[in-house]
Chains A and B, each alone.
Chain A
Amino acid sequence: MAYDLSFAKDVYENAEEGHWIKMCMQCGVCAGSCPLGPHWEFSPRQLFQMIRAGKAEEVLKSESMWMCVSCYHCMVRCPRGLPITHIVHGLARFAVEKKRADKDQVTRRFAKILWENMERGGRIGEMALTTKLYMVNGIPDGVKKGMEMKDQAMSMLKSGRLKMDPLHLSRIRGHAGFKAMLKKAREIEQKKRES
């Protein structure tokens, strides 16, 4: 049934800043402001109206929210004050939580690798991050990609802006607490979702 509001209500309550979605007046400023606008299948405004219309699958499986470059243009221009950037981030996360986001979506994959890289040591290891990113489709593909980017990597290395640290072994001192903290945060979120 169209305009079944159960999906909308789920989003309002459980996606980050999701409750703002009901305030959209469909003016189109967000879409017009987006640097990658033409690459979005559905603009933020469209996503919001689709959420209201109950189009859960189309929204969650959409690649659209993964196009966000976090430039915040839409957010500062939105005449209704919607924190659109955060809402779009929230929708991406929501799609992950609902297990609808495509695991192979490039940005989603990157986000996962980055998070893991970060969580492992508390800070980003840039070389490990890049390497992992290249290797995600297997080593041959990774080598190919790496070759394509070797000029960039070499110049970074040469200028002293890339550390030879492919294994990313360093840890922050309070790493245990750091891990415990993230675990706790995830627990609380999980609990909230279940309630």
Chain B
Amino acid sequence: MTKTYTFYPGCSSEKKASAANLDISVQSMCHILDIRLNEIKDWNCCSASIGYAEGGELPRLALSARNLGLAQKQSHRKDVVATCAACWLALRETNDRLNEDAEIKAEMDEVLQAAHLTYDGSLRPRHLVEVLIEDIGWDTLKEKVKKPLTGLKIAGYVGCQTNRPFGVCGDSFENPTYLDKMIEICGATPVAFDKKVACCGGALAFSELEKVCGLIKDILQSAKDSGADLIVTPCPVCQLNVEVYQDKVNQMFGTRFKIPVVYYSQLFVAAWGGSWKQAALHQQIVPANVLKRFVR
């Protein structure tokens, strides 16, 4: 039976945006799992983790409140699913604040009124990974595997905001295990990866590139030391920073990293027998050639 969710893709998952490969692979993955993602119509940006400085508290929270208001208006479903870590975090944080802080709730009612919206705080923002684990279940995810990625060594890079402050399915903030489990299900081998929950620098890649490249270098080095052929992540910022700036890191530190960084959704689509394109693997910047032998 088709499972349907309200969906908040976020800016990076727009067509031809930086996480277009996430969106395409997510759609392919959901197709295989018979999940329908109903995009919130006319959603707006959440301002991610950098909106605080210019927006301030209420305007920043209003961004997500509007999205929640739209979702509530457009559907009776309680779950709002996000694929981007920052989007999910912003939705959840806003939702929690509205439920915990009566003053903010009252102010937000007034704010939303200006956009002719209301929001009562009753929706449940979820990460797509939670849907996979809790609603679909590990067994089904495993059953779908047609092309086990045998022999592939993968560093599961969970990063920050998919993991903190909320965490996926109550998993540990310091040593979450779900991503390794996903890798295992796909038939590959998760390596012991020290930087599993380390920060890629997030949005500061735009302002403090040198500092951030230091962080990225440590992540790449750790992946390399652990013998990984590939890095897999659920987060569009992690994916972008670690993949796109590899050349920059190499330039800065004299290293020679060339490690593909893919999304868990890409991995699933590959292991489930999807095509190169369905997995959006053609959109990698560091080509994920190691996957070629498994994918048509």
Contact = CB atoms under 8 A, between A and B. Distances in A.
Report A-B touching, CB under 8 Å. Answer: yes
Interface of A: 16, 35-36, 39, 66-67, 69-73, 75-77, 83, 85-86, 89-90, 92-93, 96-97, 101, 106-112, 114-116, 118, 122-124, 126, 129-130, 133, 151-152, 155-156, 159-163, 172-174, 177-178, 180-186, 188-189
A186 B17 contact: no
B54 A111 contact: yes
B221 to A, nearest CB: 14
A155 B285 CA distance: 6
Contacts of B202: 69-71
A66 B48 CA distance: 15
Interface of B: 11-12, 14-21, 42-45, 47-59, 61-63, 66, 107, 110-117, 160-161, 163-165, 173, 197-199, 201-204, 206-208, 211-212, 215, 244-245, 247-248, 282-285
A156 B111 contact: no
B204 A85 contact: no
A183 B51 CA distance: 15
Contacts, number: 210
Contacts of A178: 44, 66, 115
Contacts of A172: 42-44
A107 B215 CA distance: 17
Contacts of B44: 118, 122-123, 172, 178
Q: Top 8 A-B pairs ranked by shortest CB distance?
A: A70-B49, A72-B164, A115-B54, A177-B115, A111-B53, A71-B199, A89-B52, A181-B115
B114 A93 contact: no
Contacts of A155: 244, 285
Given A123-B14, A123-B45, A181-B66, A112 B54 contact: yes
Interface of A, helix, strand, loop or mixed by DSSP = helix
A101 B117 CA distance: 34
A156 B18 contact: yes
Contact of B211 (A36, A109, A156): A36
A174 B116 CA distance: 10
B66 A188 contact: no
Contacts of B19: 161
Contact of A161 (B55, B56, B59, B283): B283
B57 A189 contact: yes
A118 B201 contact: no
A161 B17 CA distance: 5
Nearest to B247: A151
Given A123-B11, A161-B19, A189-B59, A39 B164 contact: no
Contact of A182 (B50, B62, B117, B248): B62
B53 A108 contact: yes
Contact of A186 (B18, B53, B56, B204): B56
